[in-house]
Amino acid sequence: MRKVLVLSGPNLHRLGKRQPEIYGHLTLAQVHDRLAAEARQLGVSVECRQSNHEGELVDWIGSAGDQGFSGIVINPGAYTHTSYALFDALLAAGVPAVEVHLSNPEAREPFRRRSRTAPACIGKVAGFGDLSYVLGLRGLLARLEPTQ
């Protein structure tokens, strides 16, 4: 069965408690559960990981292909706006990635309007809460070769 790596970056472990008016009331575990249910419907599996550490995210992206993942869905959190290291890691990953955001960063503070990481991804979904992860997964799968 095809498997997809789902990564969430800094502060996303606090979903549910963190600014619920922006990020909603679901915990990250609930977001992951909903995504896993959708993945089952689509006939794929997801492995969901979260880290507050840039280097750990870089390591996970870099080893995704070797670990048999067909692609990556990533919410880089605030590293979206700062991280050339994640940009380079995604460029070199050898598997496609889709960037997702719960909120719509472009409708928020000016510093959130630029994504450093999206240019290394095949697409981006933002502003739909936990559904952004689901839509990101669907978009990724639509772009993968049938046999991949």
| Residue 47 vs 103, nearer CB to ligand DQA | 103
Clarify whether 101 is annotated catalytic.
Answer: yes
Minimal distance, residue 1 CB to ligand DQA, in Å? 27
- Site mask for ligand DQA (CB under 6 A), range 87-116, x = bound: --------------xxx-x------x----
Q: Count Cβ atoms within 10 A of the Cβ of residue 15 and give its class: 0-12 exposed, 13-18 middle, 19 or more buried.
A: buried
- Measured from the CB atom, the residue of 82 and 144 that comes closer to ligand DQA is 82
Question: Which of residues 78, 85, 91, 122 is near ligand DQA by CB under 6 A?
Answer: 78
81 is catalytic: no
Beta pairing, strands 69-75 & 45-50: unpaired
Does 83 bind ligand DQA (CB under 6 A)? Our answer is no
Rounded CA gap, 59 and 43, in Å? 27
Q: Compare residues 78 and 122 and give the one whose CB is closer to ligand DQA.
A: 78
Token representation of residue 70: 């067909």
Are 109 and 4 in contact by the 8 Å Cβ rule? The answer is no
| Residue 11 binding ligand DQA, by CB under 6 A | yes
Q: What is residue 119's three-state secondary structure?
A: helix
Q: In 3-state terms, what secondary structure has residue 49?
A: strand
Is 75 near ligand DQA (CB under 6 A)?
Answer: yes
> How far is C-alpha 47 from the geometric centre of its chain's CA atoms?
11
**Interface with ligand DQA by CB under 6 A: which residues?**
11, 75, 77-78, 80, 101-103, 105, 112
